[in-house]
Amino acid sequence: MSDVKKVVLAYSGGLDTSVIVKWLQETYDCEVVTFTADIGQGEEVEPAREKAKALGVKEIYIEDLREEFVRDYVYPMFRANTIYEGEYLLGTSIARPLIAKRLIEIANETGADAISHGATGKGNDQVRFELGAYALKPGVKVIAPWREWDLTSRETLMNYCEQHDIPVDFSKSKKKSPYSMDANLLHISYEGGILEDPWAEAEEDMWRWSVSPEAAPDQPTYIDLTFEKGDIVAIDDEALKPHEVLAKLNKLGGDNGIGRLDIVENRYVGMKSRGCYETPGGTIMLRAHRAIESLTLDREAAHLKDELMPKYAEVIYNGYWWSPERRMLQAAIDETQTNVCGVVRMKLYKGNAIVAGRKSEQSLFDESIATFEDDAGAYDQKDAEGFIKLNALRLRIAAGKGRSAS
C-alpha cells in the first residue's frame, strides 16, 4: 500500500501528462490533483479541464500566471542582461521556479503528500522542478514517472492510452510535430527530430513565432521603449503591464524576423543538447536594456554586473532560483537599477534589433566633456599624461629589470 494518498501533478493536458494521471492513479492508488498554468504558451489551457475530468480528476487548478511570470521572474532576470553560454536567453529555465512554487502551494492547500511532473530523466527540467520544490518544502515527496515506468516511446504511450481508455483525440486529429516543444511568453523551444543532428539546418516550417529575416519587411520598424528602474513600462508612450510588454515585443520582433537561435548547450545533467529557440521580445529587451544601462550606469558597476552575470545565468539554468546565492545576486543587481531610467529607440529590421537612440534624465554622458569640439576647459587633456605614467609604472619597472613583455 502506497503512503501517497494525494499528489499534485503539473498537467499540460497533452499525451505524456494524461498518461501520467492514469499511471499515478494505478501505481500509487492515489488521488491526483492537476495544475495547469497559462504562462503564455499560446495555446488554450481550458481544454485541460475536460481532459482531467475525463480521467477522474476531482480537484483541477487552471491559472493565468502570465503577469506574475513576467513581472516576478522574467523582468528580474533581464535586469542582469542574463544569457547562458553567450547565447541562450533562458526561456525554459525561468518558467520552472514559478511552476514549482505553485505546485508546492497547491500541495499545501489540498493536503497532498507529493508532487509530480512530466520531465524526463535526461533533461534539465527535472532538476529545476525538484530543486525548487525541495527549497520550498524540504520534506515533499517528488514522483517523476519517466524515471520509474517502462513507457519509453510515443508508441508505448499510445498503447497505454488504448489499454486504459485515455482520451487523446488530439493525437489523431492533428499532425504530430516531429519536435519536442516548450513555449511561454518569453520563448518557444524546439528539440528532437532532425535537430538531433547538429549539422542539419532547421526546417523553415518549424518556426512558429517569426518570419525568416529574408521574408521580413523591407522597411524597418521603429519603437520607443521607456524604462523605469531597469524594467520596460511603456512602448511608444503606451503604459503596459510587464506581460503585455513582452507579448507586444514578441509580435513586433517576430514580424521582423528577430529572435531565432540555434545552439548546442551544456545541460546540467552532463550531456550536450542541440536546440532551437525563438525569443523575439526577449532579444529586443536585452539590446534595449544594455543600451539604457550604457547611458545611466556607472562604469565599475556595469563591469561588475557583467562579471556576475555568467554565474547568475548558471544559477538560473541549473535550477537554483530559490537559492540564497540567487537572492544575493538579485539584491546586488536590483541595487544597480535605481537610475536605469529613460527611453531607448529600437530599429527592427530583417532579423536585427538595432539601437537607434537613447536618452535619460539620469544620463552620465556629458557631451561637454566627450565632445571632439572645443570643450571650453571641461577636460584638461594634460591630466592624461600623469594618468598614463602612473598606470604604466609597474610595466616600466619590470622592463627596467630586463623582464620581457613578449
Q: Please state, in angstroms and rounded to a whole number, the distance separating the CA atoms of residues 357 and 347.
A: 9
CA distances from 273 to 88, 119, 122, 197, 278 (A): 12, 15, 10, 10, 16
Contact 142, 128 (CB under 8 A): no
How many other CB atoms sit within 10 Å of the CB of residue 5?
13
Exposed / middle / buried, residue 316 (Cβ in 10 Å: 0-12, 13-18, 19+): buried
Q: How far apart are CA 120 and CA 157, in angstroms?
A: 14
Residue 275, exposed/middle/buried by CB under 10 A (0-12, 13-18, 19+)? Answer: buried
Q: Are 209 and 280 in contact (CB under 8 A)?
A: yes
- Judge residue 186's burial from the number of C-beta atoms within 10 Å of its C-beta, 0-12 exposed, 13-18 middle, 19 or more buried: buried
Active site residues: 16, 96, 125, 180
CA distance 133 to 152: 25
Q: How far is CA 256 from the centre of its chain?
A: 21
